[in-house]
Structure 1
Amino acid sequence: MTTELQDNPATEADPCRTDRPPGSFAALPFAQALGRNALRVLVGLQIARTVFRIGFAAMAAATVGRLVMGTPVDPALPLIALGSFIASAVAGACAERREAFAETRIACALRERAGNRLATLGARSLQAMPAGETIVALQRHPGAVAALAVGHKAAMTMMGFGPLLAAAALLLVSWQAGLLVMGLTPVMIVFFVLVGATIRRRADDQERAFAHLARQFADRIRTLPTIFANHAFARERDTLSRRLDAHAGRTMGVLSIAFVNAGLIDFFASLSIAMLAVFLGLGHLGLVSLPGFSGLAFWQSLFILMVAPEYFAPFRRFSELYHVKAQGVAAAAALDRLMDREPATEPHIEAIEGDLHALPERGLVAIVGASGSGKTTLLRRLAGADAQAGQGAPPLAGATWVSTDGFVPAGSLADAMAWRCPSATPARIEEVGHALGLADDRLLPGGLSAHVAAGGGNLSGGQRVRLAVARALIADRPVLADEPTAKLDDATAARVREALCTLAQTRCVVVATHDRALASAAMRTIDLDRTVKREAAA
C-alpha cells in the first residue's frame, strides 16, 4: 500500500509503522510522510502549468497585438501559443489526477493503520469505544486528513511559487504594474487570518457535533427492538431528522464562510485588474502620462492584463481549500484521540492469568462475580478473542461459544444447529433439538425446518442461547458459555443447566454466570469479587 506512493520506500518506512505504542497514532504526520514524494510531483506539475500559462499569455498577446496593429505575424507565435495552452492543460490534468490518486492512497493507508491499531486492542477495549464515532472516524476522517496533507499543502506551497512567477513576468514588462498587483497581497493575508480563525472554530464544533450525532444514531440502531416495542419509531425518526438538519445547517455555515473568503479574493483580483485596465487604457489614449503605463506597446498591455489573474489564482485556490485545512486538522485530532486509547486492563484478571492454563480436560468451571467484574473478558481471554501481546496460546482456542451474541447463519433451524459441526447427523440434531425444546418450540413453527433469519433476527435471546447450547452438544469441542441461563424461564434454564452438566462429563465447560444453581454444580469456581477484595487489601 505505502510503497506505491514512495519513490524510495526504505527512507519512508518508519512513519508507516503500525506497531507503535499507544499515544503515537499521529495521523497527520503519518499522512504527510506518506505523501511527501507525491506532493513534490504535484507541486512540480502545478508550477509547470503556471509557466505554460504565462508562456501562452505572452505568445497570445504578441500575436493579437501584431494583428491589431497591422504588423506581420510570425507563424511560429500562434503555434507556440497553442502548444503552451495544450501543455498547460495536460500539466493541469496530470496534477489533478496525481492529487486524487495520492489522497485516495493515503486515506486507504490511514484506514489500514487504524484497523491494525484496533486489532491490537482487546475485545473489552473495542466494546468500550463508541461504535458510531468509530465508524465515522474510519469513513470520513482519513479522507479529510489526506486532503490536508496533499491538496491543501500543495495549494499553500503554490501560494508562494505561483504569485512569484506571475510577478516576475509582470516586472519584466512594467515594474509599476507589478507593484500595483502585489500591493494588495498584505490586505488579502489579513483577511485569510481573520476568516481562517472563524472557519477553524466552526469546523471543530462541527466535528464534535457529527461525532455526537453518529453515537446517537448507532444507539438508536442498537435499541430498535425497544423503540418498536414502545411505538416510538416516529418520534425517534423525527428527532434524528431535526438533528441531521441542524448538522447540515452547520456544514453550510462552514462552507459559506469559505465562499466568502474566496469572494474576497475575487474582489481584490477584480479590483486590481480593473485598475490596471483603466491606467493602461488611459495611457494608450494619451489622456494621462503614468510611468509604467504610458508608452507601452499594445501587446505588452494585453500581456499584463492576461497575467494579472495568474497572480491571484493561487490565493483563490488556497482560500477555496481553507475549510479543508480546518476539517483535516479536526479529523486528525479526532483520529489520534480515538486510536490512542490504552488497551483496557483488569488487574484482578491478570492476577489469575496463570491459573487459566491449568483448566481440567473435562468438568464444569464457573466464573462468578458482580456485573462488570470482568467475567466476559475472562471468557474471551480463554478463547483468544481478547488476547494480549506475549500472552501465548489461549487455553481454549476453538471452543464453542455459547451466548446471545453467537453467529447465526440464514437457513433452517437444523442448519443453524449444525453450523461448523461436520460430524452432525440428522438423528443427533433431532435428539438435541428435542432435549432443549427447540424442535417443539411453539414460537418456531415448523420445528427443525423453521426458517432462521441471518443473524438470528427472528429469534429471542433465549432461543439464541439454546441454539448455541445445541451446537455445543453436537460438536466435540470445549465450551465457553456467557450467562447461558440469564434470559430463560425456569423450565428452560433447568434444561440448559442439565445439558451443560452433561457436556462437562466429556470436555471442559467454562461458564460465566450469576446462576447460583449452575455455579453450585461446578467442580471449580473462580470468584472475581474475592480477587478484587484480595488485591484491595494488599
Structure 2
Amino acid sequence: MRKRSAPPQYPDPASRGAFQALTAARRLAKPGLRGFLVLQLVRTALRLGFAATAAMAVGRLVMGGSVDPELLAAAMVLLAVSCLAGLAADRVQASAENAVSTGLRELAGKRLDEMPAKLLQSLPVGSVIVSMQRHPEQVAALVIGHRAATVMMAAGPLLAALSLCFVSWQAALLLVGLTPVMVLFFALVGNAIRRRADAQERAFGRLAGQFADRIRTLPTILANHAMVGEAAKLARRLEDYAGSTIGLLRIAFVNAGIIDFFASLSIALLAVFLGLGHLKLATIPGFSNLELWQSLFILMIAPEYFAPFRRFSEQYHAKAEGLAAAAALDRLLDAKPVAAKALPVLDRLALSLPAQGLVAIVGPSGSGKSTLLRRLAGLEQRGMSGADGLAGEEIAWVSTDSFVPEGTLAEAIAWNAGAMTRDRLEDAAGAIGLLDDALLPGGLDARLDKGGANLSGGQRLRIAVARAALAGRAVLADEPTAKLDRETAEAVRRTLLAMSRSRLVVVATHDRDLSAAADLTVDLTHDDAIEVAA
C-alpha cells in the first residue's frame, strides 16, 4: 500500500468577511473628497462674489453712473480665481477617483488571490474582466463625483438663496419653492435609471463573457467553420447592450431636461416680475422699487442656484452605474463554491492502486469520476476510507485545464519535465499528432499565447499527454480522449497504454475502448456500491 499524506487545506471562502466594495471605496475616497468639496465651495463663493460685483458695475454703467475701477478689477479677479478654483477642483476629482479605483482594484486582486484555485477557475472569465477593468472606475465616480454633487446640491443653492436674501428674500423664496418639485422628479426618474443601469450591467457582463469564451475557443470555431454563426450571436448581444445603453442615456437626458425646464421657468418668472416692477406696471413685494444692479444680481444668481441641481442630474447615472458595479463586485468576490454532490460511496471506498498499469474509472456523468481522481491526487479535502491515494507524490495531471505556459510548443511540452532533447520532444509530440495539427503551424516552434489562450481543449489535452509521456511520473488523466477525433483519440490511447507498462496511469473516462484496455476498472455506475474489477 502507498502511504497517503494528508490533503492540502484550502481557506474556506465562507470564513472570510464579506467583500463590500462600496464601504471600501468610501474609506478610500475620504481624503480626496474633502479637498474636492472645499474647492467646490470656494468656487461657488467666488462665482457669487463675481455676480454681485459684475451686477453693480453693469447697473451703474447702464444708469449712466460712474463705475469704480476697483469694482471692475474685483469682478475680473473673482472671475479668474473662480476659474482657477474650478480647474483645481477638476484635477483633484480626477486624482481622487483614480486613487479610489486603483485601491479598489488592488483590494479586489488580493481577494481573488485568496480564493481557492478551484473556486477561482469557476468564475466567469468575462465577469472577472469587467469587474477588474470597469467596475472600480464606476464605483469611484459614485463615491467622488456623485457624492460631491449631492453635497453641493444642498450647499450651493443654500449659499445662492442666502445671497439673494440680501437683496430680495421674496426672490429667494420663489426659487426655493420649486426645489421640492425637482426633488420629486429626481426620485421618479432615479428609479427608472437604476433599473436601466442594472439591465445595462447585466447585458455587458453577458457580452464580455461570451466574447471571452469565443476568443478562448477560436481555434475550434475556425476548425468547424462556425465563424459566421458565432459572429451573429455576438452581434445580437452587442445590439442588446447598445439598446440598454441608449435607454439609460434617454432617461438621463429627460432628467437633465427637467432641470433645464424648471431653471428656465424660474428665471422667466423672475424676469417678468422684475420687469413689471421696473416699469411700474405692478407692485410686487420684493420685486418693485429695486435698483437695476439689484435686479441684475437676482437674474445672475438664479442660474447659480440651479447649477448644482443640473450637475447632480448629470451625475445621477453615475450613481446608478456605481451601485450596479458595486453590487456586481460584491457578487463576484463573495462567490461561494457550488455545493458538491454528496458521494458517500466514495468516502467508504478502499482502493489499492498497483505500482504500474492502467486503471480506468468509469461511470455516468455526475457519478464522481473526476472527484475520485482529485481525491487520489490529494486535491479534495475529504479523503477515502482506506484508499491508496497519490497525495505527496509527484504526478502528471492531464485534463483540458492543464497549465500551458506562454512560448513555443516545445517549451509547453517540456515544462516541468526536466531537460529534454529536441528528438524526444518531437517523438512525444508526433505520437499524438501535434506536429501535424494545421492550427499549430511551425511544429515545435509554434507560438502559444499566455495560458494557452489560442489552444482548443483537445490541443491542451494532447500537450498534457505529451508532457506526461516525458515526465516519467504516475499519470492522472481526466477524460484524456474527450474532444478528439477518432484518429487522434486512438493515438492518445496508444500513448497512455505505453506509459502504463512502466508506471501507474489512472484515467477517468467515458471511452469504452480505453476502459476495455485497463488492467483494473473502478465502476461508479451504481450510487450504493463501487465495483472494482481486474
Could you state the TM-score of these two structures normalised by the residue count of structure 1? 0.79
Say whether residues 1:425 and 2:426 are aligned partners.
no
Aligned counterparts of 1:247 and 1:446: Cα–Cα separation in 2: 35
Aligned counterparts of 2:111 and 2:242: Cα–Cα separation in 1: 31
User: Closer, same or farther in 2 for the Cα pair 1:201/1:474, shift >3 Å?
Assistant: closer
Aligned counterparts of 2:108 and 2:349: Cα–Cα separation in 1: 33
Q: CA RMSD in A?
A: 4.1
**Counterpart of 1:173 in 2: which secondary structure?**
coil
Aligned counterparts of 1:121 and 1:353: Cα–Cα separation in 2: 26
Say whether residues 1:118 and 2:112 are aligned partners.
yes
Aligned counterparts of 2:393 and 2:256: Cα–Cα separation in 1: 60
**1:104-503 map, 5 Å:** 104-221=98-215, 224=218, 227-228=221-222, 231-346=225-340, 370-373=364-367, 375-376=369-370, 395-396=391-392, 399-408=395-404, 413-430=409-426, 432=428, 436=431, 442-443=436-437, 449=443, 451-455=445-449, 464-475=460-471, 479-486=475-482, 487=484, 489=487, 491-502=490-501
Aligned counterparts of 2:465 and 2:341: Cα–Cα separation in 1: 31
Deviations 1:333-387 (A, max 9, x none): 233233322124547689979999x999988776655434555466667779888
**Residue 192 of structure 1: how far off its partner (Å):** 1.6
Retained in 2: the 8 A contact 1:384–1:397?
Answer: no
Unaligned runs of 5+ in 2: 1-11, 383-389
Aligned counterparts of 2:406 and 2:304: Cα–Cα separation in 1: 62
Aligned counterparts of 2:125 and 2:456: Cα–Cα separation in 1: 23
**Residue 263 of structure 1: how far off its partner (Å):** 1.3
Aligned counterparts of 1:395 and 1:123: Cα–Cα separation in 2: 17
Segment of structure 1 superposing worse, 484-493 or 47-56 = 484-493
* Counterpart residue identity of residue 482, structure 1: D
Aligned counterparts of 1:379 and 1:149: Cα–Cα separation in 2: 48
Aligned counterparts of 2:441 and 2:259: Cα–Cα separation in 1: 73
Aligned counterparts of 2:188 and 2:271: Cα–Cα separation in 1: 30
Deviations 1:74-102 (A, max 9, x none): 43323322222222222222222222222
* Counterpart residue identity of residue 159, structure 2: L
Residue 8 of structure 1 corresponds to none
Deviations 1:229-253 (A, max 9, x none): 5544334423432442343233212
Query: Quick one: percent identity of the two aligned structures?
Result: 55
Q: How many residue pairs end up in the alignment?
A: 506
User: Closer, same or farther in 2 for the Cα pair 1:176/1:353, shift >3 Å?
Assistant: same
* Counterpart residue identity of residue 472, structure 1: A
**Residue 155 of structure 1: how far off its partner (Å):** 0.9
User: Closer, same or farther in 2 for the Cα pair 1:465/1:179, shift >3 Å?
Assistant: closer
User: Closer, same or farther in 2 for the Cα pair 1:409/1:337, shift >3 Å?
Assistant: closer
**Residue 225 of structure 1: how far off its partner (Å):** 5.3
**Residue 167 of structure 1: how far off its partner (Å):** 0.2
**Residue 161 of structure 1: how far off its partner (Å):** 0.6
**Residue 170 of structure 1: how far off its partner (Å):** 0.2
* Counterpart residue identity of residue 498, structure 1: L
Segment of structure 1 superposing worse, 190-199 or 474-483 = 474-483
* Counterpart residue identity of residue 164, structure 2: L
**Residue 411 of structure 1: how far off its partner (Å):** 6.4
Retained in 2: the 8 A contact 1:485–1:497?
Answer: no
**Residue 510 of structure 1: how far off its partner (Å):** 5.3
Retained in 1: the 8 A contact 2:13–2:336?
Answer: no
**Residue 526 of structure 1: how far off its partner (Å):** 7.4
Could you state the TM-score of these two structures normalised by the residue count of structure 2? 0.79
Deviations 1:267-303 (A, max 9, x none): 2111212222232233333343333222322222222
**Counterpart of 2:335 in 1: which secondary structure?**
coil
Unaligned runs of 5+ in 1: 1-17, 389-393
Aligned counterparts of 2:60 and 2:13: Cα–Cα separation in 1: 66
